[in-house]
Amino acid sequence: MSFEAKTEADSNDVTEHPHDDKPRPHVCTVCNKRFTTTSHLKSHRERHSRGSMYPCTQCEKCFISQQCLTNHMNIHTSKYKCNECGKCCQNNTELAIHSRSHSGEKLVECSVCSKQFTTAENLVRHSRIHSGERPYKCHVCGKAFRESGCLSRHTILHMADKPHKCHLCDKSFCESGSLISHMRLHTGEKPYTCHMCDKAFTQSGSLNSHIRVHTGDKPYKCHLCDKAFSVSCSLNKHMRVHTGDKPYKCSQCNKSFSESSSLQLHKQRIHSSRRPHECPYCGK
């Protein structure tokens, strides 16, 4: 993959840095993240071009620099440990922010749903749930994400090296954690159980979404019509009602649809010889 740096002299975008107003004129052309110096941009670009290079010997997590690995090792050595719950953090700042979860201190509040957060950065990320904004777009496949970290993990999927291979179906993965999750498809293991109805799931995210069935919580709110949803993908589909976006295009006739299921139904009915609905009297 090739990259180029660009600068915008008058840029003051602080989306990912709401706590300061430093000019960040150096822009990554892959994910649009901004930096104060060219050296910071250069270090960041290694994440896209070379993937994770420094592995942790204790948990097999990988990092893009020796400094990131050193910070991570503080978790294993318990250098910054919470006295309340025993959680280990990477540094004093992270520990101080974590401590607010015990003290109940919430510094900022969402203007849409009144949910409170310990940091302004968390509020910025949360606000994208309501707006549906996904500012970080993959330059390879166009998939968009709400957070830069999600884009960085996704970018690895396009890289050739996938050392973690499933011995049952030969599917390969870039990270060991992805292989562990995949293996549950073969074993049927569902370690995440709902404490309300005992329904079990293979991933923690699926359990979190399911819990809202019981609580009635609908945190994903449309900022245009105030309709609310329990999962983010439902909000994303709903937003196409307002935008008119139809990203699913038929390769045979170029007709477009707002949902993938509508495209598949179109292909079955229009472009195939399959006719599943039969008259019981004449067979037509």
**Distances from the Cα of 226 to the Cαs of 45, 89, 211, 275, in angstroms?**
39, 38, 22, 41
pLDDT by residue for the chain (284 residues), tens digit each?
Answer: 333 333 333 333 333 444 455 667 777 766 567 777 888 877 776 665 555 567 778 876 777 678 888 888 998 888 898 888 888 889 888 888 788 777 767 677 888 777 778 777 788 888 887 777 888 888 878 888 888 777 877 776 776 567 788 888 878 887 777 888 889 889 999 888 988 888 899 888 888 888 888 888 888 888 788 788 888 788 888 888 888 888 888 888 888 888 888 888 888 888 887 787 889 999 89
CB distance 254 to 261 below 8 Å: no
pLDDT value at residue 52: 52
Q: How far apart are CA 144 and CA 132, in angstroms?
A: 11
pLDDT value at residue 144: 84
pTM of the model: 0.41
Structure tokens that stand for 181 in this block = 């999750």
pLDDT value at residue 51: 52
Q: What's the sign of the alpha-carbon dihedral 233, 236, 241, 244?
A: negative
pLDDT value at residue 11: 33
